[in-house]
Amino acid sequence: MTTATLSPATLSKAAFFEAQAVKAGARRNRLLSLPALIIIGIFGVLPLLIICVYSFLVAAPYGGVQWQFSTDAYLNFLFQRDIFDDTLQFTPDFLIIYLRSFLFAVVTTVICLLLGFPTAYFMATRPPAQRNWWVLLITIPFWSNLLVRTLAIMFIIRDEGLINNALLALGVIDKPITMLYTNFAIQLGLLYAFLPFMVLPLYSSLEKLDFRLIEAAYDLYATRRQVLWRVIIPLSKPGIIAGCLLVFIPALGAYVTPLILGGGVHLMIGDLIAQQFGSGRNWPLGCAQALILMAAVLVALFFYVRNTSGKVQHG
C-alpha cells in the first residue's frame, strides 16, 4: 500500500497512535530513570539541603543545633565578634587555611599531571594484551585502605624511617632529615593518594587516540615536540580535564592524609571542617565552611568549563 491510497482520516489516526507511542516511550524512560533519581535525591540532594539549613542555625553548646536563624556561621568565616563591644573584626585565619589547601591541591594536580601523562602515554602505547596488566598495576593501591597506605608513608619518611636509615647507613647524611609533619610530607601523601586518579582518565583518553594522526603530523614536518603540543595534548584534552578534576577536587578537601602526615599542625580545609563537628562543637560553622568550599569549586569549574568548552567538544 502506498501513502497515496491512505485517506486523510487514516493518516491522522496513524499520526495519533504514533504520538501516543512516543509519549508512552517517554513515560517509560522517565520510569526507568526513577531509581537513579531517588538515589541522587536521598544521598545527594537531601544531605546537601540539611547542610544548607544547618549553616543558618545557631550552634548548641554540646554539638548539634538550635533552631534559630542566624548568619553567624558565615560571618565567623571571615570575622571575629569582639566579646566586649560586639564589633566584627576581620580575621584571615580560615581564609589562610583555604588558600593553603588550594595551593596544595593545585601543586598536587600539576605534579600528578606531569607524572601521570607520560605514564598514561607509556601504558597506551603498549601492545593491547599488555595494557590491562599496566592498568591492574596502577589500580593495585586501591586494594588497600588509604589510611594504611598513609601510615606506611609515615613509616618510610619518619626520622627513624626507611629513607633516613638508608641515608644514614650510606653516610650521605649524619643526622636524620625531618620530613614527617612537614608540608613536604602532606604534599607527598597527596601525590601518592591521587596519582592513579590522574593516570586512569588520561590513559582511557590516550588509548582512544588514533596514532595514525601522529604519523600524519610527523609526515607534515612536525617534530616530536610539535606532535606532542599540536596533536597529542589537544586530542587528549578530555582525559586531561577529567584527570585534573578528579585530583583537584578531592585534594582540596583531603582529610586523612594531611591530618596524619601533617601531624595536625598544618591544617587544611578537610581537618578544619571535621574540627567544627568534633572538638569545635560548631555544626553551623562546619556546614558553612563546607558550603563555601563547594561554592568556590563550582565557581571555578563554571569559569573553567566556559572557557574551554569549545575546545573540549571537539577534542
For 66, phi then psi, to 5°, come to -105, 135
Q: How far apart are CA 287 and CA 293, in angstroms?
A: 10
Residues of this chain that interact with other proteins (CB under 8 A) are 210, 212-213, 215-223, 226, 230-231, 234-235, 311, 314-315
Which of residues 235 and 268 has its CB atom nearest to other proteins in the complex?
A: 235
Report in angstroms how near the CB of residue 217 gets to other proteins at its nearest.
7
- Kind and range of the H or E element at 65? strand 65-66
* d(C-alpha 222, C-alpha 170), whole Å: 47
Q: How far is the CB of 225 from other proteins (least distance, A)?
A: 11
**Minimum CB distance to other proteins smaller for 34 or for 129:** 129
Q: Least distance in Å: CB of 240 to other proteins?
A: 13
CB 264 within 8 A of CB 29: no
Identify which of residues 232 and 247 has a Cβ nearer to other proteins in the complex. 232
Nearest approach, Cβ of 223 to other proteins (angstroms)?
6
Q: Which is nearer to other proteins, 168 or 222 (CB)?
A: 222
Displacement of CA 60 from its chain's centroid (Å)? 32
Nearer to other proteins, 82 or 215 (CB): 215
Half-sphere exposure of 34 (CA within 13 A, CB side): 7
User: What is the C-alpha to C-alpha distance for residues 231 and 167, in angstroms, rounded to an integer?
Assistant: 43
In whole angstroms, the minimum distance from the beta carbon of 233 to other proteins comes to 10
Which grid coordinates are listed for 89?
573584626
